[in-house]
Amino acid sequence: MTVKEYIESGLLEAYAMGALNAAECAEVEAALEKYPEIRAELDAIETALGSYVNMQAVEPSPDIRGKVMSLINNTSQSERDVVTIGRLNINPNVAQDPRNNIVWSIAASILLLLSLGINIYLFNKTTIAETKTNGLVQTNHKLDSSVKVMAANMKQLVADNDRFRSDMSILMDPMYKLVELKGMKVSPEAKAMVCWCPGSKLVYYENEKMPEPPKGMQYQLWAIVDGKPVDAGMITMGAGLHKMKDVTNAESFAVTLEKEGGSDTPHGEMYVVGNI
């Protein structure tokens, strides 16, 4: 799309009206960064919408302003919390009260006695502890490598979680049509799913229960348009949603087993198919 076509597409208007999904918004925001003309156009659209809302403004009752301001007064922004804690520590009234000096003296004496007691106790313990240290160093090495394994697992979990969240956002998005693909004769148990957004043409594919393809072979997704298969991309076997090629139009989706890298037209057996 050229900048002019982009401006005339209606996408910016829909963006300003909050009518786009997250993926489309991200697309518009990227275009805004890149092209000052697109930004200027969005500004003009927002100004027009702003005036439209203003024409329909309703003045709130006079007491609402005070209510809002006292709510704000009682609600801290995250960085204001830090400031408040800082102020509590330097409250001058506490230091000026002479009674506080006595309280502090007693408290300090108790702490000193406690500290002496602990020191004697710890000194005795040290000798025993030293003999144990060697054993601990070895255990520590073991733990160290365990921690490394756990950190790696954790990283994997975080990545899985991110992927899961983005998958969920597609699955919950009403713009997407969810198409269930069911097994054919060659593999009646096979199952897969396609999420297709006709508006943005985006297609995501998920293996739900597909047999592992033989070596040198790969599954290929097809969009069926007017009875003819159109290549929608090669399938990798991992879990989760996989982004496929854009599809403008489709009556159904099907998966066939093809040689690695795919074919222009389907040659292999059809494993799953589903109508929209």
Partner 1 sequence: MVTKTSIPEEELVASLKAGEQSAMAVLYDNYSAALLGAIMRIIESRENAEDVLQEVFVKVWKNISSYDRSKGKLFTWLINIARNAAIDSTRVKGYAIKNQIRSIDNSVRSINRQHSVTMPVDHIGLKNIIDTLKPDYKILIDKLYFEGYTQEETAEELGIPLGTVKTRIRAAINQLRGIIK
Residues that bind partner 1 (CB under 8 A): 8-10, 13-19, 21, 29, 32-33, 42-61, 64-65, 67-69, 71-73, 75, 77-80, 172, 174-175, 198-199
Query: CB 193 → partner 1: shortest distance, Å?
Result: 18
Cβ-based nearer residue to partner 1, 66 or 214: 66
C-alpha 14/C-alpha 25 separation (Å) is 9
Cβ-based nearer residue to partner 1, 45 or 270: 45
Spatial contact of 219 and 271, defined as CB atoms under 8 Å apart? yes
User: Residue 194: exposed, middle, or buried by beta-carbon count in 10 A (0-12, 13-18, 19+)?
Assistant: buried
Query: CB 195 → partner 1: shortest distance, Å?
Result: 15
Query: CB 29 → partner 1: shortest distance, Å?
Result: 6
Residue where the block lists tokens 């229960």:
209
Sequence-ordered alpha helix ranges (H) in the chain:
3-8, 11-16, 22-34, 36-55, 63-73, 78-89, 92-96, 99-172
Cβ-based nearer residue to partner 1, 2 or 61: 61
Query: CB 239 → partner 1: shortest distance, Å?
Result: 24
Cβ-based nearer residue to partner 1, 173 or 213: 173
C-alpha 273/C-alpha 222 separation (Å) is 9
Cβ-based nearer residue to partner 1, 58 or 102: 58
Query: CB 234 → partner 1: shortest distance, Å?
Result: 30
Q: Phi first, then psi: what are they for 274, rounded to 5°?
A: -155, 135
